[in-house]
A and B are shown apart, each in its own frame.
Chain A
Amino acid sequence: MVKLTHVSKSFGEIKALVDVSFEIKKGEFVFITGPSGAGKTTILKLILREILPTSGQVVFDGEDIVNLPQEKVPYLRQKIGVVFQDYKVLPERTVRENVEVPLAVTGVNPDEWAARVNQVLKLVGLDKRSELFPAQLSGGEIQRVSLARALVVNPKLVMADEPTGNLDWETGDAIMELFEKINKEGKTVIMATHNKHVVERLKKRVIELKDGKMVGQTRVKSEGEEKVEEKKEEEPRQEEKSQEKPKMKVKVEEV
C-alpha cells in the first residue's frame, strides 16, 4: 500500500528525514512514533504529496507519487483520508456540511450524500450533532468530525497526525477505539503520535523515528503480544553504546 525507499528530506540545513525505508501493507495499522521533530509529520506529508523528498522514492497504491504530475495530486489525495492534529475542519460549515465536502470533491452523486454522511456520523457518534457548527462542539467531537470527513469517501488509506494530541485521555481513548474499529473493517491506518499510552494500548506495528532517522520498528501479530520482527536501524554512537539500550528492545519488552 505504502512504500518508502531510502527517503531523505531536508529543509535547508535541517535534515527532517534521513534514509528512511519501510513498507506498509494493505489493512495494516501502523504507528509512527518519536519525539517532536523526529520526522513523523514529514512522512505523512510526503505520502500526501504535500512536500517532495530530497531523495528517495515514495510509492502509494503502486504509484510513484514523487514523480506524479501536479494535476494528478488531488486524485491521489482523494484516496487518502487524513485526520489532522489541529482538526482542519471548516469553521463556517456545519458538521454535516464538513463531512459532505469530500463527497463533493470526489464527485459522489448528491443523492448518495445523506446516506453516507449519516452512516459515518453514526460511526463516530455525531449523528445527533450533525447540524451544529464546529464552534459548538468539544475538541473530541471536532476530532470526530475530522475523522468522519476522512472516512466518508471510503479511502484506501487513513492517516492521522497526532489525533489525540489535543484531547484528554478519555476522549483520546474513544477516538483510538474508532481507529481500531476502522482498521478491523479493513482500512489501512497510519498514525503519527508521540503518545506512548496510545501505542502501548493498541499493540500495533510501530515505526520509531529519532532526529529524522528510523531507529527501529516492531511488528505485533495480534493482541497475544507476539513479537514478529525486531529491527534496529540505527547503530548508537560508540560512546552511547555502553549506556543506552536499543530503544526498540525496550519497547518490545514492554509489549
Chain B
Amino acid sequence: MKIHLKTALDYIKRSPFQALAALFVLTLTFFVGTILAVLVYSSANLLNYFETRPQIITFLKDEITPENVSALQNKLSADVRVKDVRYVSKEEALEIYKQATSDNPLLSELVSPTIFPASLEFSVTDLSFAQEVINEIKEEGIVDSVGFTASLGGEKTLEDVVGRLRTLTLYLRIGGGVFVGVLAGTSLLVILVITGMRITTRRGEIEILNLIGATPAFIRSPIILEALIYSSVGAFVGWLLAFLIWLYATPALIGYFGDIPILPKGTLNLFGLFAIILVGELIIGLGLALSGSYLAVSRARRNR
C-alpha cells in the first residue's frame, strides 16, 4: 500500500496542472453539492414548518360550555385527517394578541379578554383535506366561524403559501440535482481523462511491471489511488468551503427566518448535519474515482 501511495503521490507531483484541474473540478462539484444539500434540507424544513402550523382556527360561540368544547376537541382529535388540536381560551387569545402587539402597548391596554373568542386550532395531515374538514366543522352548533391562519406574503391562504413552497422545493431539488449531476458527470470525465493520460504516459512502466509479474490489480492500484486522492481531497475542500460559508451566514439566516427551523437548532446538530453531508460526499467521491479510473483502465486494456 505504501509503495502504491508513494507512486500515486509521485504521479500527482510530476503533473501538477493535471492534478490542479482535477482538484478544482471536484472541489467545485462538492462545493455546489454541499450548498445544495443544505438548501434542500432547509427548504424541506421550511415546508414542514408551514405544513405543520395550525392551519385551521375554529372560533367558538360565547355561550359554549367546557363540556361542549371538550366534546368537539375529542371529536377532532379522533379524526385521522386532523392533528395537533389545541384549545385557546379567551385569556390565552388576549395573551397572543398582547405578544403580537408588544411593540405598541397602547393597543393591548384598550382590549379585554371578553372581546376575543375562544378557539380550537388544529392542522390537517394533508392540505387537501382542509376544505372538507372546514365544511364539516361549520355544521357544529358551537362553532361561530372557521378560517385559515393569517395570510402570509400577500397570499390569501396558507394553502397557497405551502403550494408555492412545494413548487419551489421541487424546482430546487430537480434543478439542483440536474446541476450537481452535470458537475458530477464533468468530474467523472476529468478523472477518466486524467487516468487515461496517466496510463498513456506510464505505458513503459506498466510494461516493465507486467514483465516482472505484477498483477493487473497491482498495476492499477496507484492509478486508482490517485483518482481517490483527487476525489477525497476535492470532496473535503468543497465541503469545507461550503461549511464555512454556511457558518458565516447562519446568524443572519436565523435572524431573518426567526422561529422557522431552516437549519438544525444547536451547534452540535448543525455540525452533525454537515458531518452527514461530508460522509455522503466522500462516498460519492469514492464512486466517482472508482468508476472513472476503472473505465479508463478498461478502455486502455481494450485499446492495447
| Residues of A in contact with B (beta carbons under 8 Å apart) | 48, 50, 74-80, 82, 84, 88-90, 92, 100-102, 104-106, 110, 149
Contact = CB atoms under 8 A, between A and B. Distances in A.
A101 B3 contact: yes
Given A88-B208, A90-B205, A105-B218, A77 B213 contact: yes
A161 B142 CA distance: 105
A48 B211 CA distance: 8
B99 interface: no
A89 B205 CA distance: 8
Given A92-B10, A100-B3, A105 B209 contact: yes
Given A100-B3, A101-B3, A104-B218, A90 B208 contact: yes
Contacts of B216: 74
B212 interface: yes
Nearest to A102: B212
Interface string B77-96: 00000000000000000000
7 contacts: A50-B211, A74-B215, A88-B208, A90-B208, A100-B3, A101-B3, A105-B218
B10 A75 contact: no
Given A90-B205, A90-B208, A102 B213 contact: yes
B302 interface: no
B193 to A, nearest CB: 22
Contact of A88 (B14, B211, B213, B214): B211
A110 B2 CA distance: 9
Interface string B196-209: 00000000010111
Contacts of B3: 100-101, 104
Contacts of A79: 213
Given A90-B205, A92-B10, A105 B213 contact: yes
A180 to B, nearest CB: 23
Nearest to A155: B213
Contacts of B2: 110
B208 A105 contact: no
A155 to B, nearest CB: 9
Given A90-B205, A110-B2, A101 B212 contact: yes
A92 to B, nearest CB: 7
Contacts of A106: 213
A91 to B, nearest CB: 8
Nearest to B216: A74
Contacts of A149: 212
B3 to A, nearest CB: 5
Nearest to B4: A104
A105 B211 contact: no
Contact of B213 (A74, A84, A110): A74
Given A104-B218, A105-B218, A78 B205 contact: no
A123 B289 CA distance: 43
Contacts of B10: 92
Contacts of B205: 90
A100 B212 CA distance: 12
A28 to B, nearest CB: 22
